[in-house]
Amino acid sequence: MLAGQKKLLKVNEARYINMPKYDELSVKNIFPRFRNDPQVMLYLQDEYPKDRYPDRQYFFTILNTVHADYVS
Protein backbone atom coordinates (compact mmCIF):
# COMPACT_ATOMS: atom_id res chain seq x y z
CA MET A 1 0.00 0.00 0.00
CA LEU A 2 2.78 2.45 0.82
CA ALA A 3 4.34 1.86 -2.58
CA GLY A 4 1.02 2.77 -4.22
CA GLN A 5 0.40 -0.71 -5.61
CA LYS A 6 -2.45 -1.73 -3.30
CA LYS A 7 -5.74 -0.14 -2.23
CA LEU A 8 -7.65 0.13 1.01
CA LEU A 9 -11.37 -0.31 1.19
CA LYS A 10 -13.34 2.22 3.22
CA VAL A 11 -15.66 0.61 5.75
CA ASN A 12 -18.69 2.40 4.33
CA GLU A 13 -17.86 1.06 0.84
CA ALA A 14 -17.53 -2.57 1.96
CA ARG A 15 -20.38 -4.95 1.16
CA TYR A 16 -20.12 -7.43 4.02
CA ILE A 17 -21.32 -10.97 3.57
CA ASN A 18 -21.51 -13.98 5.87
CA MET A 19 -20.68 -17.01 3.77
CA PRO A 20 -21.86 -20.40 5.03
CA LYS A 21 -19.01 -22.58 6.23
CA TYR A 22 -19.08 -25.37 3.67
CA ASP A 23 -15.98 -27.06 2.29
CA GLU A 24 -17.02 -26.00 -1.22
CA LEU A 25 -17.06 -22.36 -0.11
CA SER A 26 -13.72 -22.34 1.68
CA VAL A 27 -11.10 -19.73 0.92
CA LYS A 28 -8.77 -22.58 -0.02
CA ASN A 29 -11.12 -23.61 -2.84
CA ILE A 30 -12.22 -20.14 -4.02
CA PHE A 31 -8.99 -18.12 -3.75
CA PRO A 32 -7.20 -19.82 -6.69
CA ARG A 33 -10.00 -18.69 -9.02
CA PHE A 34 -9.35 -15.04 -8.16
CA ARG A 35 -5.56 -15.15 -7.68
CA ASN A 36 -5.01 -13.61 -11.13
CA ASP A 37 -7.89 -11.13 -10.93
CA PRO A 38 -6.31 -7.66 -10.78
CA GLN A 39 -9.38 -6.04 -9.15
CA VAL A 40 -9.38 -8.51 -6.25
CA MET A 41 -5.62 -8.61 -5.84
CA LEU A 42 -5.49 -4.83 -5.34
CA TYR A 43 -6.83 -5.52 -1.83
CA LEU A 44 -4.88 -8.72 -1.01
CA GLN A 45 -1.25 -9.66 -0.50
CA ASP A 46 0.65 -10.74 -3.59
CA GLU A 47 2.08 -13.82 -1.89
CA TYR A 48 0.97 -16.03 0.99
CA PRO A 49 3.03 -18.68 2.78
CA LYS A 50 2.44 -22.25 1.69
CA ASP A 51 -1.02 -23.51 2.71
CA ARG A 52 -2.01 -20.06 4.03
CA TYR A 53 -4.83 -17.92 2.67
CA PRO A 54 -6.47 -14.54 3.33
CA ASP A 55 -8.77 -14.13 6.30
CA ARG A 56 -12.15 -15.67 5.43
CA GLN A 57 -14.36 -12.68 6.35
CA TYR A 58 -12.04 -10.17 4.67
CA PHE A 59 -11.68 -12.28 1.51
CA PHE A 60 -15.41 -12.76 0.98
CA THR A 61 -16.10 -9.10 1.81
CA ILE A 62 -13.62 -8.07 -0.91
CA LEU A 63 -15.20 -10.48 -3.38
CA ASN A 64 -18.69 -9.27 -2.55
CA THR A 65 -17.61 -5.65 -2.95
CA VAL A 66 -15.54 -6.00 -6.11
CA HIS A 67 -17.46 -8.83 -7.84
CA ALA A 68 -20.93 -8.81 -6.34
CA ASP A 69 -22.30 -10.85 -9.25
CA TYR A 70 -20.06 -13.82 -8.27
CA VAL A 71 -20.91 -13.95 -4.58
CA SER A 72 -24.44 -12.63 -4.11
- Which pLDDT tens digit goes with each residue over 9-68? 788 888 988 889 999 999 999 999 999 999 999 999 988 999 999 999 999 999 999 887
The count of other CB atoms within 10 Å of the CB of residue 5 is 9
The answer as to whether 1 is a domain residue is no
Q: Which domain holds residue 20?
A: 11-71
Question: Among candidates 19, 23, 4, which has minimal Cα distance to 64?
Answer: 19
Helices (H), 1-72: 27-34, 38-41, 56-66, 68-71
Q: Are 59 and 31 in contact (CB under 8 A)?
A: yes
The answer as to whether 54 is a domain residue is yes
The answer as to whether 49 is a domain residue is yes
Domain count, the chain: 1
pTM score, whole prediction: 0.80
**Residue 1, pLDDT score:** 46
The answer as to whether 2 is a domain residue is no
